[in-house]
Every structure is written in C-alpha cells, then in structure tokens.
C-alpha cells in the first residue's frame, strides 16, 4: 500500500515537472516582451552617418517607421542588412526605415554601408541613450511604429523577409 502511494506521488510530480519544462521549450529564456508595445515610441534626434545632419523620429510622423538597432561588430546584423535594404527600397513611398547604430565608430559604419549599400538614414547613437530608451538588450532588434508613432511590434534577432513584411503590415494597419 505504502509503495503504491509513493509511486503515484512520484508519477504525479514527474508529470508536473515534464509539463512545466515542456511549456518553456522553444522559447528564448532571455526574451522579455517590450513594455513599449502600444505606447508612443521614445523620440530621438541623432546624427546621420556621412552627413552629420540631425534626423529626428518626429519628422517621420504620418508614415509607418521601421527602426532597426544594429552594429558593425554584430554578425547577425550582416545577415539581415540585405533584407532591410531591399524592403526599404521597395516600400520607400509607404514606410520609412531608420537604422540606429550604437557601440560603434562612425568610420566602421560608413565602411559597412559603402560595402553593403544603404537605402535609408543610418544614425549614430552615441552613448547608447536611444537604445536604452527602447530597452534594447542586444542587436539586432527592430521596432515597428504606426503612423502615429506608437510601437506596434518588436522583433529580436536577424529579421527575415516574411517577419519584416508581417510586422510592416501590422504597422500600416494601425
């Protein structure tokens, strides 16, 4: 009798542990949902690489915006760059793309853009204040803003064409 109770209790505990562990499989343990979703995007005014002109987020109000945080030392950023450039060229009349680079040197950024192309403003976040305001935990991270400047989605890691288009549609719809 005692042995049966122990086996049943062990089976129940094991089943509960298996269920708890399996519920977390496939999820990034470092992922944190952005508290910015549904809220106005933090404003910024940063210097553009190559020109030194100040570009502010507010100047794009009225148009959906894709804000991509990246760096030249980031390997996944190399992977996603062609996707961003191609889509920025394709959607230039409908969506504004903006690159925000932090923890990097302007010379390296300019060299990267010269070698790989550019289709949108690339801005330097000196000191990383803009990345901190957005809660960027690592690069690349991409934020999607609607016409009113509200954050409607965030994507972590190198973005693929399908995820980019899906999130752009979400930004355009709101």
- The pLDDT tens digits of the residues spanning 149-173 come to 999 999 999 999 999 999 999 999 9
- Please report whether residue 166 resides in a domain: yes
Mean pLDDT of 110-134: 97
Number of domains in the chain: 1
Mean pLDDT of 47-72: 97
- Please report whether residue 21 resides in a domain: no
Tokens describing residue 35? 């508290």
pLDDT for 26 equals: 54
Q: Residue 108 and residue 111: Cα distance in Å, rounded?
A: 5
pLDDT for 53 equals: 97
- For residue 108, the domain's CATH number is 3.40.30.10
Residue of 20 and 29 predicted with greater confidence: 20
- Please report whether residue 12 resides in a domain: no
Mean pLDDT of 19-32: 56
Tokens describing residue 147? 């016409």
pLDDT for 173 equals: 95
Banded pLDDT at 16 (limits 50, 70, 90):
low
pTM over 0.85: no
Mean pLDDT of 124-145: 96
% of the chain exceeding 70 in pLDDT? 85
pLDDT for 5 equals: 73
Mean pLDDT of the chain: 90
- Please report whether residue 6 resides in a domain: no
- Please report whether residue 5 resides in a domain: no
- Please report whether residue 57 resides in a domain: yes
- Please report whether residue 157 resides in a domain: yes
- Domain span at residue 72 reads 35-173
pLDDT for 35 equals: 86
- Please report whether residue 117 resides in a domain: yes
CA dihedral of residues 156, 160, 164, 165 (deg, nearest 10): -150
């Amino acid at each position: 009798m005692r042995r049966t109770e122990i086996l049943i209790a062990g089976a129940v505990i094991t089943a509960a542990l298996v269920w708890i562990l399996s519920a977390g499989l496939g999820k990034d343990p470092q992922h944190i949902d952005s508290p910015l979703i549904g809220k106005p995007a933090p404003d910024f005014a940063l210097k553009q690489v190559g020109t030194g002109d100040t570009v502010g987020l507010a100047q794009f109000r009225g148009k959906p915006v894709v804000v991509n945080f990246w760096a030249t030392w980031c390997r996944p950023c190399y992977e996603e760059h062609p996707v961003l450039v191609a889509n920025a060229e394709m959607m230039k009349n409908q969506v504004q793309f903006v690159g925000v680079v932090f923890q990097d040197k302007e010379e390296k950024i300019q060299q990267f853009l010269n070698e790989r192309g550019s289709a949108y403003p690339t801005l330097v976040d000196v000191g990383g204040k803009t990345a901190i305001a957005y809660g960027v935990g690592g690069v690349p991270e991409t934020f999607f803003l609607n016409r009113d400047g509200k954050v409607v989605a965030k994507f972590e890691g190198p973005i693929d064409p399908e995820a980019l288009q899906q999130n752009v549609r979400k930004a355009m719809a709101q």
